Structure 1
């Protein structure tokens, strides 16, 4: 157990991890919640037309996935995650205790938003979120695709996210 290496995924890492893992299981992180609170300047937007992506923000809890990686692949996985998640340093790498669906408690690497970073958007009104999601397009594709894929995968896992569902509904209806 000591040599196990887990990654906690709450957004695109759930549906596009980009690294090999040997186990995948539902998990819960206490003390942080999933929120569209990061202006994306690279993956789903640009500095001129930022998108909006998820971050783990302070307070509450977050259901997601835990991905277990072979211990001998730890360093290459961390290097990959740092290159992907810390492009602009809006996320801080952290090790947090998570509870797996089978009730085991394990430490996991995850990425939490840095509230002091210029790309921290905070709690935006849904109308503003819709605008950023509609305009965002970056190296990883359209922002709208990111939001829809995340909601779809949360649905597959049986995880309800009313805020994302409301946002996607507004996108579908052409609302702000």
Structure 2
């Protein structure tokens, strides 16, 4: 028994399950997009994170990593149960052909499982849909969940794609926009949090006012 699964998001750098082989390659007619909500890992129901899903587009290419699990049925079952629990926002399992860079025309593997999501907000409650780059960047910069910040997910993916030698233009563009947002937030926090410097006159010691009371001559004579 054996199965292969294709990772294009966090599975690229953190598979989290026992596997027997990892191969870098790509699938065709899909591109990586940040249209899926995450409400239990990198975000919350009130402030969902944005994570990767795949959009079907003829001629597109999506690079990632394919993992092989082979051996005992219990091993395969454990791996699949882990993946289904982890990828709970994805409501579809799609079978695809997987290609290597050395032979981009002939599939190296067929029937590779990839977790995808239905691009419909009615039937798929986790589907956020596309948004302007700036809006996505603000959402990613501010979303936080039990497993950490949404921005760390994006930055980890950016590094992972660099490490396998196939950077994603959208990931880079979005990551740079998130960095701009974080820079703006840091400046605003610094301005709000810094106390105003006192005026120079306010720093001078205050000399108390002394009221002089003139005594009558007879009182002076008595004091002597």
TM-score scaled by length of structure 2: 0.71
TM superposition shift of 1:150: 0.4
Matches within 5 A, 1:88-99: 89-99=89-99
TM superposition shift of 1:134: 1.2
In structure 2, the residue matched to 1:105 is 109
In structure 1, the residue matched to 2:29 is 31
TM superposition shift of 1:101: 4.1
Gaps of 5+ in 1: none
In structure 2, the residue matched to 1:136 is 143
- Does structure 1 residue 149 correspond to structure 2 residue 151? no
Q: Which has the higher contact order (CA 8 A, sep 6+)?
A: 1
Matches within 5 A, 1:3-42: 3-42=1-40
Structure 2 CA distance, aligned partners of 1:129 and 1:111? Answer: 22
Report Cα offsets for 1:13-66 as digits up to 9, x if no partner: 111101011211112111221111112111111110111000112222211101
TM superposition shift of 1:105: 2.5
Worse-superposed segment, 116-125 or 140-149: 116-125
**Structure 1 contact 52–132 (Cα < 8 Å) conserved:** yes
Report Cα offsets for 1:67-117 as digits up to 9, x if no partner: 11124222111111001101xx44312222212345423321110121121
* Match of residue 84, structure 1, among 62, 86, 91: 86
Gaps of 5+ in 2: 186-224
Larger Rg: 2
* Cα distance change on mapping 1:76 and 1:131 into 2, 3 Å: same
SS in 1 for 2:18: coil
Structure 2 CA distance, aligned partners of 1:156 and 1:6? Answer: 21
Structure 2 CA distance, aligned partners of 1:30 and 1:126? Answer: 24
Report Cα offsets for 1:111-148 as digits up to 9, x if no partner: 01211213212221110111110121112211000000
* Cα distance change on mapping 1:39 and 1:175 into 2, 3 Å: farther
Structure 1 CA distance, aligned partners of 2:145 and 2:71? Answer: 33
SS in 1 for 2:43: coil
Structure 2 CA distance, aligned partners of 1:69 and 1:100? Answer: 19
